[in-house]
Amino acid sequence: MNEFASVLRSWRERVTPADVGLPAGAGRRTAGLRREELAALAGVSVDYIVGLEQGRASHPSTQMLRALAVALRLTDDERDHLYRAAGVAPPSAGVVPRHVGPGVQRLVDRLGDVPLAVFSATFDILLWNPLWAAMNGDPSRLAGRDRNLVWRFFTSGHPGTEFEAWHEEEFASDLAGDLRAAVGRYPNDTALAELVQRLLVVSPEFERRWAEAKVAQHRSSRKTVTQTPVGPITIDCDVLAAPGSDLRIVVYTVAPESVDAERLDLLRVTGLQALGAAGG
């Protein structure tokens, strides 16, 4: 068995269903994940996972390795070893970190009573909890640049979300400034450079803000999500720094004992049920 197949199987077998929010079920012959469970978490077929573990499938893509690292709750060192075992260079210091380590994943798992998502330094959505998907729509249905908040904001606006005018101006300015700061920190990230160049071409508003050369970090906003299954909900949005990484944890909260709090409580029930029905 080659090194990639060996570590993939070992790491799969050490992750319990409870670690990834799955029921243990009956009749399990191992405490770890089944191949079909890992396949579902990584978004690939069971046959592909079998091929990887048997050394038959070769040359997994960077995207595939990233998905496996997240599904297996790998540390940064383990992720880098997985890349090298697959013959792929691990992400360098000059590239935007997109790996969500086990500590941040546990935080997402445990804060299920508030909508929460994890973004990269360039606002690519990487991980979210079910309540986030119930409020905003399922991000797994998005692909490519549509998973980037800055791209969607400057190319499609913000349908389903309302800001006060002054706050919308501040939000747009902060997003452009945050992206410029990321360019300075990650000069070797080709995906980031391509994102900026495309935005300059397709969005005059982004081009105007980019020319201002503002450097900023977006930290908070207030907005109303108007198209939830239970009606509009006004939320406070706070952006928290994940310790030891350049990831952003975005958390939505509502004023206690308000209509918004009542609707968020209702969304935890009806919205999650609707999401589960759609996914099933």
Q: Which of 265, 273, 276, 277 is nearest to 115 (CA)?
A: 265
CB-based contact 126:111 (threshold 8 Å): no
Percent of the chain with pLDDT strictly greater than 70: 95
Is pLDDT of 66 > 80? yes
CB-based contact 97:252 (threshold 8 Å): no
Each residue of 164-216: pLDDT tens digit?
877 788 888 999 999 999 999 999 999 999 999 999 999 999 999 999 998 98
Each residue of 228-239: pLDDT tens digit?
889 999 999 999
Domain 102-279 of CATH type 3.30.450.180:
yes
CB-based contact 2:55 (threshold 8 Å): yes
Please list the alpha-helical segments (H only) found in the chain. Answer: 3-14, 35-42, 46-53, 62-71, 76-85, 102-110, 130-136, 149-156, 165-185, 190-202, 204-211, 259-266, 272-279
Which part of the chain is CATH 3.30.450.180?
A: 102-279
Q: What share of the chain is helix, strand, coil (3-state, %, to 5)?
A: 50, 10, 35
Which part of the chain is CATH 1.10.260.40?
A: 3-85
CA neighbours closer than 13 Å in the CB half-sphere of residue 182: 30
Q: 3-85, superfamily in CATH?
A: lambda repressor-like DNA-binding domains (1.10.260.40)
pLDDT the model gives residue 19: 82
